[in-house]
């Protein structure tokens, strides 16, 4: 006696995925009208969990989450990066972390009338390059609390002060700036 396994001859319908009702299709044998058929468009939500590591930049984001601002400094040359950088771009030697006050001045700015999905509801918004005393590079951040329509060249050189989100998102946007004056 052999045990013959039975395989289902039918796939059971369920309520998962896209369920289509009354999809137009010609009746009869003339399928030539299919060339004029409008495309079927299906809207489906899509999500993915993405694990991302900040690696050697993790201390920078931990500082932001705790309302502190740290920069990367090369201990040999003293070259200081306002953005997190584990190693010096010229020598490749390891940098150290140094805490500074998040106070500087506007080096440059732009008014953004379009942005990514996150910023789209906030358009227009202002991005600034912050110049910190003692830093050799600039820091890109948002300027909040001013009317984008009042943007003018007089903003260059104005003092700004950093503020931190109360609830960290562990993103560069955890810090933003207001005019200090």
The 3 state secondary structure assigned to 135-181 is: CCCEEEEEECCCCHHHCCHHHCCCEEEEEECCCCCCCHHHEEEEECC
Q: What is the pTM of this model?
A: 0.72
Structure tokens belonging to residue 146: 């001013």
Unique residue bearing structure tokens 């991302």: 52
Q: Say what the pLDDT of residue 19 is.
A: 66
Structure tokens belonging to residue 108: 């440059």
Q: What is the pLDDT of residues 37-77, one digit of tens each?
A: 887 777 778 889 888 888 899 999 999 999 999 999 999 99
Q: What is the pLDDT of residues 88-138, one digit of tens each?
A: 998 999 999 999 999 999 999 999 998 877 777 788 999 999 999 999 999
């Amino acid at each position: 006696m052999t045990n013959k396994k039975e395989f289902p001859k039918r796939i059971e319908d369920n309520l998962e995925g896209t369920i289509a009702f009354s999809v137009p299709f010609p009746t009869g044998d003339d399928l030539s009208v299919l060339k004029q058929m409008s495309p079927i468009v299906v809207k489906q939500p899509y999500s993915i969990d993405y694990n991302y590591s900040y690696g050697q930049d993790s201390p920078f984001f931990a500082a932001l989450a705790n309302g502190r601002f740290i920069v990367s400094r090369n201990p040999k040359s003293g070259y200081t990066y306002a953005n997190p950088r584990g190693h010096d771009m010229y020598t490749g030697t390891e940098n150290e972390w140094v805490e500074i006050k998040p106070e500087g001045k506007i080096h440059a700015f732009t008014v953004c009338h379009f942005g990514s999905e996150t910023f789209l509801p906030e358009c227009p918004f202002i991005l600034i390059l912050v110049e910190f005393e003692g830093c050799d590079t600039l820091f890109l951040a948002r300027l909040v609390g001013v009317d984008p329509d009042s943007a003018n060249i007089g903003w260059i050189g104005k003092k700004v002060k950093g503020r931190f989100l109360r609830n960290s998102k562990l993103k560069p946007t955890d810090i933003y700036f207001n005019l200090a004056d």
